[in-house]
Amino acid sequence: MTSIIDGEAVAADIRDDLQGAVDDLADAGARPTLATVLMSEDPASETYVSMKQRDCEELGIGTRDVELDADAPASDLLEVVDDLNADPDVNGILVQSPVPDHVDYRDVVEAIDPEKDVDAFHPENVGRLVAGYPRYKPCTPHGIQKLLAAEGVDPEGMDATVVGRSRIVGRPMANLLSLKEDGGNATVTLCHSRTENLAEKTRSADILVVAADVPGLVDGDMVGEGAVVVDVGINRVDADTEKGYELVGDVDFESAKEKASAITPVPGGVGPMTRAMLLWNTTKAASRQHGVDVTLP
Ligand code: NDP
């Protein structure tokens, strides 16, 4: 029987376990606070930001909600980041991407204090991850590590293939899986659009993580017998539904399920974990900044 990995349930467990840490911090006068910065009129970005705020509120994590006109100068956004960096009551800063074209996202990421960089995109945090002593781990790959652990999958000694080399998912995922630490110690192959014989690389994987943004890129023929398949992709495809679309992953779920020992669904797999790990990083940030030790799940 193939196990369908329930990301909603694992994320709920992590949120429950985080509650104790958030309460302990609040009791010590160090309630975690996340600032979200939105510089976009894109409804999807607005929805993502309000979901993140709601997640925080449910756990008693404080929020700051900063919104800027999409046509404001880049310097306004950088000033907001500076103010949040200097505010001792703000522990985590998240600038929702994409930012408008006239803003260089790299400038924004580099402006965030690395201690408050709960996305873990600042080059200092990327560097620490690659060097093997991460301060914060990026939410999606960190969430995938937690999902694997919850499923009883220890990557040590396994062959892992990651499809996609983005800075937010693929590359940090490959790094985390290859680190010499719990949840790592795998032998990792990192694939991308120039990879030749992709199917050969995916089929040989014990753990296959797909983050390519291509609906159904990986089908059952490309999955090895008994592999653990993690589908990161979220793609809107036209469908005869009320909304006119449905969400599908980068993996063809039905055919891959026939070969996999365990597989994440879309939606309900990786997505909820990404959201939970933002709360995790914000809690860790508050603990670090206030010097109050708490146990994180
Ligand atoms: P990017 O578009 O930044 O990166 C996609 C990567 O896939 C690139 O490295 C690209 O290669 C590679 N790729 C594209 N086509 C192929 C192909 N045919 N064969 C092999 N590799 C290919 O995407 P992201 O990493 O940001 O996101 C990936 C997916 O995950 C998206 O659908 C996104 O919506 C979803 N996502 C889901 C999250 C969640 O919480 N569930 C969180 C973040 C993202 P190259 O570098 O050569 O161009």
pLDDT digits (tens, 9 = 90+) for 58-107: 999 999 999 999 999 999 999 999 999 999 999 999 999 999 999 999 99
For the segment 43-72, the average pLDDT, to the nearest whole number, is 97
**Residue whose CA is closest, atom 31 of ligand 1?**
213
Q: Where are the beta strands (DSSP E) in the chain?
A: 3-4, 33-38, 62-67, 92-95, 159-163, 187-191, 207-210, 228-231, 235-238, 245-248, 262-263
- Tell me the pairing of strands 245-248 and 262-263: unpaired
Task: Give pLDDT tens digits for 221-277.
Answer: 999 999 999 999 999 999 999 999 999 999 999 999 999 999 999 999 999 999 999
pLDDT at 237: 94
- Alpha-carbon distances, residue 240 vs 9, 231, 254, 277 (angstroms): 28, 23, 19, 33
> What SS3 state is found at 165?
coil
Q: How many CB atoms lie within 10 A of CB 291?
A: 8
Predicted pLDDT of residue 74: 98
Residue 38 forms beta bridges with which residues?
67
**Element (DSSP H or E) covering residue 8:** helix 7-27
Q: What is the mean pLDDT of residues 30-43?
A: 97
3-class state of residue 120 by DSSP: coil
pLDDT of residue 261: 98
Cβ of 234 less than 6 Å from ligand 1: yes
Cα(60) to centroid(ligand 1), Å: 33
274 CB under 6 A from ligand 1?
yes
Residue 108 — pLDDT band, cuts 50, 70, 90?
very high
Q: Is the pTM of this model over 0.85?
A: yes
pLDDT digits (tens, 9 = 90+) for 191-229: 999 999 999 999 999 999 999 999 999 999 999 999 999
* 150 C-beta closer than 6 A to ligand 1: no
User: Which of 232, 236, 237 has most ligand 1 atoms within 8 Å of its beta carbon, as the pocket-test mutant?
Assistant: 232
Q: Which of 140, 145, 166 to mutate to test the pocket of ligand 1 (most atoms within 8 A of CB)?
A: 166
- Model pLDDT, residue 89: 97
- DSSP H/E element including 44: helix 43-59
β-pair partners for 163: 191, 210
Residue 19: which pLDDT band, with cuts at 50, 70 and 90? very high
Instruction: Report pLDDT digits (tens) over 109-160.
Output: 999 999 999 999 999 999 999 999 999 999 999 999 999 999 999 999 999 9
52 in active site? yes
* DSSP assigned state of 192: -
Contacts of 251 (CB under 8 A, 6+ apart): 210, 216, 217, 218, 219, 223, 229, 231, 233, 263, 266
